[in-house]
């Protein structure tokens, strides 16, 4: 998608660095381990996916959306990597977020902004905890 945007911009006379004039958005759950972060985010992500998926607003396979809707045991709340270039839900400790976002920064040198939020329906208290921890532990690793 990022290369497609760059190509279309070029066709309209705008020469952009890869990622320039874009913002990538991620839902996230930050905690000491990936397992804890997934467990905390799962119920909110499932509701988010049940609402957004049928509207075509998530880039997941139909099988993935059905697994979420049916609360199948094999569904773990993580993204469908085969269908997306970027994950939709980041779960884990700050070090993993930093590593992943540093890789995004390397791949898209024109990208200046990312947006992080929690899945729809996440209680305000948990959102504030996640965003505070992200600001304290992840943001200092970036300009």
pLDDT tens for 73-108 read 444 444 444 334 345 678 999 999 999 999 999 999
Q: What is the pLDDT of residue 70?
A: 60
8 A C-beta contact, residue 118 and residue 26: no
Domain-embedded: residue 76? yes
* Spatial CB neighbours of 82, under 8 Å, sequence gap ≥ 6: 61
Whether residue 35 is contained in a domain is answered as yes
Structural domain contains residue 2: no
Helix, strand, coil percent values for the chain (each to nearest 5): 50, 10, 40
Residue 75 lies in a domain: yes
What number is the average pLDDT over the span 21-34? 93
Query: Which residues make Cβ contacts (< 8 Å) with residue 65, sequence separation at least 6?
Result: 49, 53, 54, 58
Answer whether residue 4 is part of any domain. Answer: no
Beta bridge partners of 30: 92
Domain that holds residue 50: 22-141
Q: Indicate whether 4 pLDDT > 70.
A: yes
Q: Which among 95, 105, 107 is positioned nearest to 138, based on CA atoms?
A: 95
In angstroms, what is the C-alpha Rg of the chain?
A: 16
User: Is 11 domain-assigned?
Assistant: no
The structural domain count of the chain equals: 1
pLDDT at 68: 53
Task: Express each pLDDT in 53-75 by its tens digit.
Answer: 677 666 555 665 566 556 554 44
Question: Which residues fall within 8 angstroms of residue 124, CB to CB, at 6 or more apart?
Answer: none
- Residue 116 pLDDT exceeds 70: yes
116 assigned to some structural domain? yes
Among 28-42, 48-62, 103-117, the range scoring the smallest mean pLDDT is 48-62
Q: Is residue 12 part of a domain?
A: no
């Amino acid at each position: 998608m990022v290369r497609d945007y760059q190509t279309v911009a070029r066709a309209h006379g705008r020469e952009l660095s890869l990622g320039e004039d874009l913002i990538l958005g991620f839902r996230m759950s930050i905690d000491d381990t990936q397992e804890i972060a997934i467990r905390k985010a799962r119920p909110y992500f499932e509701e988010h996916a049940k609402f957004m998926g049928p509207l075509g607003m998530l880039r997941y396979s139909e099988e993935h959306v059905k697994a979420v809707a049916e609360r199948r045991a094999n569904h773990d709340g993580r993204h469908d990597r085969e269908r997306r270039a970027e994950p939709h839900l980041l779960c884990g400790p700050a070090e993993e977020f930093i590593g992943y976002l540093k890789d995004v920064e390397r791949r898209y040198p024109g990208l200046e902004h990312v947006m992080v939020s929690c899945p729809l329906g996440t209680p305000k208290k948990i959102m504030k905890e996640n965003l505070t921890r992200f600001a304290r532990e992840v943001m200092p690793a970036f300009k």
